[in-house]
Chain A
């Protein structure tokens, strides 16, 4: 069975600091991985996805994530946090089913 673990339900950074949100997955077959962002009182929207090919994936709003098979990780990073990045972030995995398995989410706070 596939699963996703997001380490840290809350992460706080200062504006301009590095953002690092952690995601580890478990899968018996090659995974396809996603990061979604949810702003307050809104639905989820896709930040970026890894399917095949290049392991460093760039997404919207300056975010990127690197697929590391040896570490079963897909951590999300952004070099410099902005106040508008405050939101909840979800990692998700799909494999050979028509369903996405979501992590429990990480709430990012950005302080001025």
Chain B
């Protein structure tokens, strides 16, 4: 099992550009999550999904969009990149929802917006 994979590992964007962060898992997990991690701030939930075709906003969804057409993939879209979106982005998945939702994390994507 590869677990949770994320691409790219690093990316530099110019203000106003758009990009898609890819996330895939091969564990047949229904639940998938996108977080951003900023220094000293812990992890903030951007969007999550409880199954294919179902997504919902987390704590900090503004400036992002997601889709979940398959169980395996959960891409995160940035439409108009802003410096405030400079962060490390983590994708995670879990087999169950609350309260047993042990989450498995990908290695992260480090994004810089200049």
A residues apposed to B, CB below 8 Å: 9, 32, 34, 36, 41-46, 49, 51, 90, 94-100, 102-105
Of A42, A49, A98, the residue contacting B108 (CB under 8 A) is: A42
B residues apposed to A, CB below 8 Å: 4, 31, 33, 40-43, 45, 48, 50, 58, 90, 92, 97-108
Most buried by B among A94, A95, A96, A97: A94
**Set of chain B residues within 8 Å of A32, measured between Cβ atoms:** 98-100
CB distance from A89 to the nearest CB of B (A): 11
Question: Which chain A residue has the least Cβ–Cβ distance from B6?
Answer: A43
A43-B107, A44-B90 given; A104·B42 CB < 8 A: yes
- A41 and B105 CA atoms in complex are apart in Å by 13
Q: Say yes or no: B98 contacts A104, CB within 8 Å.
A: no
Main secondary structure of the interface of A (DSSP, over half): loop
A42-B108, A43-B90, A43-B107 given; A98·B42 CB < 8 A: no
**Set of chain A residues within 8 Å of B43, measured between Cβ atoms:** 44, 90, 102
Q: Which 4 A-B pairs have the closest CB atoms?
A: A43-B105, A32-B99, A98-B97, A104-B42
